[in-house]
Structures are given as C-alpha cells and as structure tokens.
C-alpha cells in the first residue's frame, strides 16, 4: 500500500486517554446490516451477532469487536470485512460487531454504568457479558477467534496470541502484512507482558486471573487458538481500520 496509507504519522492527540474520532455506532451497524444481507449473512434473533454458515465447514471462525466504546476502528473494520466479502468458501463465520452499545455514544472505554466489559468474563456482573456468554454457549467451538481492538497509548500495531492448538502460528504473518500499513510496536514489554516483534504470547493461568478478558474466556471455553489485534489509536482512523482488516484477511488467505 503506497506510503502506508499516505504515511501513517502519529497524530499526538491522545493525552491520558483516547481523544480521537468518535463514530455513530447505530449508523455503522445499519450499514453493516445492509452489507450482511447482501452477502448472505443472517442476523441472530436473540443477540447482536451475524452468521454466515456453510455445510461441512473446514474451519469455524469467530470475530468480535466494539467491546470498548473508545475504539472506533473495530466496528468499522467489521463493516469493511463484511462489505469486502473475502472469505474462503468452506469456512463458517460468526461476527459480533459491537459488544458495548452504550459506550460508543460516550466515546469511552466502559459501558454507560462505568464498567469495563472486557474484564467481566469471569464474574459476569454485567447484563452485556451475561448475554454474550449465553449466546456463545449456544454456538459450536471455533477453530480460530479474533478480537479486534485499539490501544490509545501504543506506538504501533501489535497482536496477542493464545495458541493451545499445537497448530501453526499466524502471528508473524499478521505482523508482516500489517507492517505495510502502519508501524509495529516492537517494544520488549507491552501492557506489562513480554513481547517480541509486535507479538505477545502470554503465559496465562486462568484460575489465577481475577478478571477475564473476552479472549481468555474464549480460550478456556470456545477455542484453542485466538488472536487479539491491537491497532494504535493515535494514528489516523483509516490506517487503524486497514490494519485490523489486513490482519484478519491475512489469516483467511493462509488457511
């Protein structure tokens, strides 16, 4: 991509919190609904989720985003992925396009009650996460999961990998592809985790973690291989969206 989307320059807007662009989440979800209908997805009647299922799938893939209301690139990336419609023909797909509907109008991380939903997957104190985990329990296990996020402090893109499958890692492929879009955070420590080349492979003991993120809940209950993609939210929104889309589509091409 020429000039990293016309040069992915850090904007310097984020001072102590995310202070960048907000989105009209209902408008984004309306556009996603139209694209989903056009491209053969069905909306779940009981939860804000979409499915595109095939008979005898070779892989089952889950994507979620929008759990933090100050991370607009995720829902926009979900919309782009549905619009682009670049999926292997033999893969079944599940998409949760916005897990925090009340946080986006406030442009803040937490929901309207001030709770970080991405720390509630162990104790299930919020209705949003109780509803999400009920929905997840009704779905089959997934071969791969993606949680699309942003980090307002980060110097570049990075990825968490939880891979219990024994299968090949896709983390390096994701980093190599996204490096053409925006900078990679190559710090030796990211979010208090040891990192290398933009990749974090945390050694996690779920029983010792007092609060669970969605990715950890998925690793315990629904998948053996999951990726959390973190776009750097102090860079232009178009860059962040493209980075997340590229990360997912890179894996789609590899499987």
Q: Structural domain of residue 126, as residue ranges?
A: 3-254
Closest CA to 61 of 129, 146, 187: 146
Q: Look up the pTM and report it.
A: 0.96
Calculate the CA 46 to chain-centre distance: 21
Angle at 10 between CA 8 and CA 16, to 5 degrees: 150
DSSP 12-33: ---SSS--S----HHHHHHHHH
- Contact, 88 vs 55, CB < 8 A? no
Residue 94: its pLDDT value, please?
A: 98
Q: What is the pLDDT of residues 26-80, one digit of tens each?
A: 999 999 999 999 999 999 999 999 999 999 999 999 999 999 999 999 999 999 9
The CATH number of the domain where 75 resides is what? 3.40.630.10
Report pLDDT for 2.
39
Residue 122 has pLDDT above 90, yes or no: yes
Q: How confident is the model at residue 224 (pLDDT cuts 50, 70, 90)?
A: very high
Q: With 70 as the cut, is the pLDDT of residue 7 above it? A: no
H helix count then E strand count, the chain = 7, 10
User: Rounded to 5 degrees, what are φ and ψ at 242?
Assistant: -65, -35
pLDDT in tens, 14-24: 999 999 999 99
Count of the separate structural domains present in the chain = 1
Report pLDDT digits (tens) over 153-208. Answer: 999 999 999 999 888 999 999 999 999 999 999 999 999 999 999 999 999 899 99
């Amino acid at each position: 991509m020429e000039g990293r989307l016309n040069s992915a320059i850090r904007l310097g807007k984020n001072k102590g919190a995310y202070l960048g662009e907000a989105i009209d989440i209902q408008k984004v979800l309306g556009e996603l609904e139209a694209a989903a209908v056009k491209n053969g997805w069905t909306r779940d009647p009981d939860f804000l989720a979409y499915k595109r299922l095939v008979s005898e799938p070779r892989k089952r893939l889950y994507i979620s985003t929008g759990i933090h209301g100050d991370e607009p690139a995720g829902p926009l990336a979900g919309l782009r992925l549905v619009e682009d419609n670049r999926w292997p023909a033999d893969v079944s797909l599940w998409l949760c396009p916005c897990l925090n509907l009340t946080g986006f109008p406030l442009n803040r991380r937490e929901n309207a009650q001030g709770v970080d939903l991405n720390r509630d997957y162990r104790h299930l104190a919020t209705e949003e996460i109780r509803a999400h985990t009920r929905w997840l329990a009704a779905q089959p296990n997934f071969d791969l999961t993606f949680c699309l996020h942003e980090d307002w402090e980060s110097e570049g893109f990075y990825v968490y990998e939880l891979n219990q499958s024994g299968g090949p890692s896709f983390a390096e492929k994701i980093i190599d592809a996204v490096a053409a879009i925006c900078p990679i955070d190559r710090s030796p420590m990211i979010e208090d985790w040891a990192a290398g080349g933009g990749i974090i492979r945390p050694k996690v003991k779920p029983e010792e973690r007092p609060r669970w993120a969605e990715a950890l809940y998925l690793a315990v209950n629904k998948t053996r291989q999951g990726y959390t993609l973190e776009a750097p939210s102090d860079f232009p929104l178009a860059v962040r969206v493209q980075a997340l889309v590229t990360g997912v589509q890179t894996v789609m091409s590899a499987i």
